[in-house]
């Protein structure tokens, strides 16, 4: 969809201005430097600079680190401009251009990304907003590539565990069509978009064509916007066959909890009532998990059972996990929205639960997984650490080490979907202008490639120093606050970064024909 090079225009003029500033800075510093430095030979510039090709620096350029504090001859702005040019040039040396963001066609441009991922068992792929076409489309494109080139088999999404089960049932041959499944499982979420109809459709077709290399869909989140009744029935049905003596009490406990079809309405119930229900859900989980004895309320508990081996024990491992997710959901739903400390505790519980669910799935299936969620959940740092003190990505890194890789997204301008409040309202488009100087995206967008990615772990020294400093970023979740912008040190948040020049709002899900 996108070419390799950017068009000459305002951004090109900015790039040329930076080069002029850097050259002026070098000349000024050279004139102010000791005689021994000034005497060093230089190479004259004899050709016209093209702003769409790498610019060979005037040599020698005095390293920025050796420049004395700004004097009247060398302004602070000029020093900053020269420093940024060095960062941009260094970025260009390690950036890998993307030839497209939409899935389909050749994927040779993703080979370097595949090498960066290496042997990771779980790859987190973020999104700077919850509603941009290019982020969603790139997720399908990257997943396809990892399935075909790296043997990945599970696409995990920041959505309810029970909805993920419904989608996976369809992928394994269940009734329906992609649009119907998306409408049924993604309603009210930012992923209720045409891009996810495309993903679900491709996964179903892949399984038809490759029955010996089937792919799966997993929801790693709590039961929001709903748990649905099917997950309760899965637990009860299994216990009815395996532990009939526990069924009466389990039925009684769940009768007080179901249905759970609207978490936002449920959160308006008194906190005391919600805490009582959380205690019931936990008792139900303990009752179900008691059959295994070695299991616990930690989602990553290793009970030694492979959930794909077809045994009764493996089947029951799934039952315990279903009951665990119900308990996780009701524990989260005790949040007191009027108490900031309670909100932070709830979000910490949620990130921990999502990580636990991913770890459980990976260990019990052995699948390689692509984990799709917001940047603030797959990365190691959040732009709002007061609310999200420990991210899902941080938990996964602690538990998996190098078997986890976090990929973040950034964008320099464009549109996305967001809401006025987290609990109410519809998703609607918001547009932001080109990132101004001082933002991470402004510097990234001066790289000559329109869209590109790079490995932050192996970036050259000038880039690493730049990446380790927190600067304003574009970041939108369920809501968006245009000012002040949150800040983030990209190098401490991700292993790999994908930068896109411009994004547009994701495509609204077309209604089913009746």
User: What's the rounded Cα separation, in Å, for the pair 189 and 415?
Assistant: 17
Residue 19 pLDDT class (50, 70, 90 cuts) = very low
Looking at residue 12, what is its pLDDT? 40
Q: What's the pLDDT tens digit per position in 453-490?
A: 999 999 999 999 999 999 999 999 999 999 999 999 99
DSSP string, 388-415: -SS-HHHHHHHHHGGGEEEEEEEESSEE
Long-range contacts of 116-120 (CB under 8 A, 24+ apart): 116/405, 116/455, 116/495, 116/496, 117/146, 117/150, 117/405, 117/496, 118/402, 118/405, 119/402, 119/403, 120/368, 120/402, 120/403, 120/404, 120/405
CB atoms closer than 10 angstroms to residue 171: 21
Q: What's the pLDDT tens digit per position in 202-217?
A: 999 999 999 999 999 9
Q: What's the pLDDT tens digit per position in 83-133?
A: 889 999 999 999 999 999 999 999 999 999 999 999 999 999 999 999 999
DSSP string, 321-382: HHHHHHHHHHHHTT--TT-HHHHHHHHHHHHHHHHHHHHHHHHHH---EEEE--HHHHSSS-
407 token code pair: 């990929």
Q: Is the pLDDT of residue 422 over 50?
A: yes
DSSP letter at 108 equals G
Residues 254/285, Cβ–Cβ less than 8 Å: no
DSSP reduced 3-state for 217: strand
Residue 423 pLDDT class (50, 70, 90 cuts) = confident
* Domains with residue ranges and CATH for the chain: 10-94 (no CATH), 108-224+367-500 (3.40.1660.10), 230-261+268-334 (no CATH)
Q: Is the pLDDT of residue 399 over 50?
A: yes
Task: Kindly tell me the sign of the dihedral angle through the C-alpha atoms of 185, 188, 194, 199.
Answer: negative
Provide the angle, in degrees to the nearest 10, between the axes of the packed helices 161-171 and 194-209: 40
Looking at residue 298, what is its pLDDT? 46
CB proximity list for 380: less than 8 A, separation 6 or greater = 391, 393, 394, 397, 406, 492, 493, 494
Q: Is the pLDDT of residue 379 over 60?
A: yes
Looking at residue 496, what is its pLDDT? 98
Q: Is the pLDDT of residue 41 over 50?
A: no
% residues pLDDT > 70 (the chain): 81
Q: Is the pLDDT of residue 513 over 50?
A: yes
Residue 424 pLDDT class (50, 70, 90 cuts) = confident
% residues pLDDT > 90 (the chain): 75
| Mean of per-residue pLDDT scores for the chain | 85
Residues 497/375, Cβ–Cβ less than 8 Å: no
Looking at residue 311, what is its pLDDT? 55
User: What's the rounded Cα separation, in Å, for the pair 324 and 320?
Assistant: 6
Looking at residue 363, what is its pLDDT? 97
At which residue do the structure tokens 């936990």 appear?
282
195 token code pair: 């891009």
DSSP string, 48-66: PPPTTSPPPPPSSPPPGGG
- How far from 82 is each of 20, 50, 70, 266, CA to CA, in Å? 9, 18, 12, 55
* Selected residue with higher pLDDT from 510 and 459: 459
CB proximity list for 147: less than 8 A, separation 6 or greater = 153, 206, 213, 215
Q: Is the pLDDT of residue 420 over 60?
A: yes
Looking at residue 56, what is its pLDDT? 35
DSSP reduced 3-state for 335: coil
Residue 72 pLDDT class (50, 70, 90 cuts) = low
Query: By C-alpha distance, which of 502, 504, 480 is closest to 413?
Result: 502
- Lowest model confidence (mean pLDDT) among 15-29, 81-95, 163-177, 293-307: 15-29
User: What's the rounded Cα separation, in Å, for the pair 126 and 194?
Assistant: 19
Looking at residue 456, what is its pLDDT? 98
Q: What's the pLDDT tens digit per position in 267-319?
A: 999 999 999 999 999 999 999 998 444 444 444 444 444 444 455 788 899 99
CB atoms closer than 10 angstroms to residue 309: 11
CB proximity list for 77: less than 8 A, separation 6 or greater = none
DSSP reduced 3-state for 46: coil
Looking at residue 81, what is its pLDDT? 73
Query: By C-alpha distance, which of 472, 491, 466, 439 is closest to 83?
Result: 466
- Lowest model confidence (mean pLDDT) among 32-46, 234-248, 377-391: 32-46
DSSP reduced 3-state for 318: helix
Strand partners, 429: 417
- CA 495 to chain CA centroid, Å, is 12
Query: By C-alpha distance, which of 316, 332, 353 is closest to 235?
Result: 316
Q: Is the pLDDT of residue 410 over 50?
A: yes
At which residue do the structure tokens 């919850």 appear?
130
- Lowest model confidence (mean pLDDT) among 30-44, 155-169, 313-327: 30-44
Looking at residue 74, what is its pLDDT? 58
At which residue do the structure tokens 């805490």 appear?
275
| Pairing label, strands 154-160, 369-372 | parallel
Provide mean pLDDT across the span 373-394: 98
């Amino acid at each position: 969809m996108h070419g390799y090079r950017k068009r000459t225009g305002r951004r090109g003029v900015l790039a040329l201005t930076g080069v002029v500033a850097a050259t002026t800075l070098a000349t000024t510093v050279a004139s102010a430097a000791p005689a021994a430095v000034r005497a060093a030979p230089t190479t004259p510039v004899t050709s016209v600079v093209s702003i769409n090709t790498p610019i060979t620096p005037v040599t020698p350029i005095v390293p920025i680190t050796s420049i004395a504090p700004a004097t009247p001859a060398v302004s602070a702005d000029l020093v900053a401009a020269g420093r940024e040019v060095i960062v941009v040039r260094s970025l260009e040396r390690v950036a890998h251009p993307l030839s497209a963001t939409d899935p389909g066609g050749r994927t040779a441009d993703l080979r370097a990304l595949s090498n960066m991922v290496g042997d990771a068992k779980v790859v987190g792929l973020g999104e700077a907003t919850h509603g941009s076409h290019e982020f969603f489309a790139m997720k399908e494109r990257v997943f396809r590539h990892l399935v075909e080139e790296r043997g990945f088999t599970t696409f995990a999404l920041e959505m309810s565990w029970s909805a993920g089960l419904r989608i996976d049932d369809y992928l394994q041959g269940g009734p329906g069509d992609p649009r119907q499944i998306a409408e049924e499982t993604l309603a009210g979420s930012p992923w209720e978009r045409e891009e996810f109809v495309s993903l679900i459709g491709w996964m179903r077709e892949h399984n038809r064509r490759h029955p010996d290399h089937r792919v799966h869909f997993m929801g790693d989140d709590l039961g929001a916007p709903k748990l649905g009744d099917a997950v309760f029935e899965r637990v009860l049905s299994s216990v009815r066959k395996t532990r009939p003596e526990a069924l009466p009490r389990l039925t009684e406990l769940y009768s007080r909890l179901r249905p759970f079809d609207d978490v936002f309405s449920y959160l308006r119930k008194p906190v005391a009532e919600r805490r009582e229900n959380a205690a019931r859900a936990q008792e139900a989980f303990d009752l179900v998990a008691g059959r295994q004895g070695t299991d616990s309320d930690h989602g990553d508990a290793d009970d030694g059972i492979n959930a794909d081996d077809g045994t009764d024990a493996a089947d029951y491992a799934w039952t315990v996990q279903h009951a665990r997710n119900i308990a996780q959901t009701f524990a989260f739903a005790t949040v007191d929205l009027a108490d900031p400390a309670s909100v932070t505790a709830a979000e910490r519980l949620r990130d921990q639960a999502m990580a636990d669910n991913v770890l459980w799935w990976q260990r019990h299936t052995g699948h390689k997984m692509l984990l799709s969620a917001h940047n603030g959940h797959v990365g190691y740092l959040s732009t709002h650490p007061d609310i999200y003190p420990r991210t899902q990505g941080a938990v996964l890194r602690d538990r998996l080490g190098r078997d986890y890789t976090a990929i973040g997204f950034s964008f320099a301008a464009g549109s996305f979907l967001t809401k006025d409040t987290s609990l109410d309202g519809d998703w609607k488009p918001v547009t932001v202008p080109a990132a101004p100087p001082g933002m991470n995206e402004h510097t990234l967008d001066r790289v000559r490639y329109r869209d590109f990615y790079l490995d932050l772990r192996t970036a050259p020294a000038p880039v690493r120093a730049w990446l380790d400093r927190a600067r304003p970023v574009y970041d939108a979740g369920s809501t968006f606050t245009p000012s002040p912008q949150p800040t983030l040190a990209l190098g401490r948040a991700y292993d790999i970064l994908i930068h896109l020049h411009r994004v547009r709002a994701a495509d609204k899900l077309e209604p089913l024909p009746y």
